[in-house]
């Protein structure tokens, strides 16, 4: 089986588990994820600094409480907007911001002034450059390999940052059972590793491994 087929099979299995999970336990995980996600962000983002995040919906790990915590901590939080050719742009999030269905993907997106990846990365006089990336995942392994949703949006985003000479700290939000043993996540050429896992039970450093 090729890597793409292996990833598709693993993705289907994990999403079946997510959909079968108890909704009350999933909702309760939101506050735990928020605590660990904020811990990670405060370790990597300067006061008033900028990071990306996302809104988890449906059976995904719930991130709304985390967004609230990040905003309350004075951080500038940007959420993704899908563009053609599986690229991302960014809108600053604040409580009460409206959302609308994406034209390019089956997701809800924030409505507001849009920044390109280059604008987000470099900052301006009123906003500091991008300091960290908090991103979604379907699964991770203990060496930082990430299984996404299959669109490649975030891998392309991280590759564009690399092209700008930037490699900000990264962390992905998953449930505890979605952190898998080393090499359990198949990889392809575009795939980028993730530095940490934010789970309900812990904040786990994944990559690079301590020497």
Asked whether residue 208 carries a pLDDT value surpassing 90, the answer given is: no
Question: Is 211 a domain residue?
Answer: no
Q: What is the CATH number of the domain that holds 172?
A: 3.40.50.10420
pLDDT band at 77, cuts 50/70/90?
A: very high
Least confident among 64-68, 77-81, 148-152? 148-152
Q: Do the domain assignments include residue 210? A: no
Are the C-beta atoms of 194 and 206 separated by less than 8 Å? yes
In a domain, 90, yes or no: yes
Residue 110, domain member (yes or no):
yes
| pLDDT 10s digits, 23-37 | 999 999 999 999 999
Helix (H) or strand (E) holding 82: strand 76-83
Are the C-beta atoms of residues 63 and 30 closer than 8 Å to each other? yes
Please report the pLDDT score of residue 105 as a whole number.
Answer: 83
Q: How many structural domains compose the chain? A: 1
pLDDT at residue 97, rounded to an integer: 96
Task: Return the closest-CA partner of residue 131 out of 89, 167, 84.
Answer: 167
Residue 86 within a domain = yes
Over residues 142-201, the pLDDT tens digits come to 999 999 988 889 999 999 999 999 999 999 999 999 999 999 999 888 889 999 999 999
The pair of three-digit structure tokens given for residue 18, joined into one six-digit string: 């997510």
Range of the domain at 114: 3-205
d(CA 90, CA 48): 17
Tokens of 30: 């939101």
């Amino acid at each position: 089986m090729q890597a793409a087929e292996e990833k598709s099979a693993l993705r289907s299995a994990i999403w079946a588990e997510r959909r079968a999970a108890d909704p009350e336990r999933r909702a309760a995980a939101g506050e735990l994820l928020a605590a660990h996600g904020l811990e990670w962000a405060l370790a990597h983002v300067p006061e008033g600094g900028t990071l990306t995040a996302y809104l988890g919906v449906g059976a995904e790990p719930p991130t709304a409480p985390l967004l609230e915590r990040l905003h309350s901590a004075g951080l500038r939080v940007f959420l993704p907007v899908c563009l053609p050719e599986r690229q991302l742009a960014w809108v600053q999030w604040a409580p009460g911001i409206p959302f609308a269905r994406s034209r390019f993907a089956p997701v809800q997106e924030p409505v507001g002034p849009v920044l390109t990846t280059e604008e987000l990365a470099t900052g301006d006089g009123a906003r500091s450059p991008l300091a960290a990336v908090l991103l979604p995942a379907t699964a991770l392994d203990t060496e930082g390999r990430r299984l996404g949703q299959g669109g490649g949006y975030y891998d392309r985003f991280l590759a564009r940052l690399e092209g700008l000479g930037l490699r900000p700290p990264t962390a992905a939000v998953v449930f505890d059972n979605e952190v898998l043993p080393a090499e359990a996540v198949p990889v392809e050429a575009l795939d980028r590793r993730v530095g940490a896992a934010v789970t309900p039970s812990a904040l786990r450093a994944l990559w690079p491994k301590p020497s």
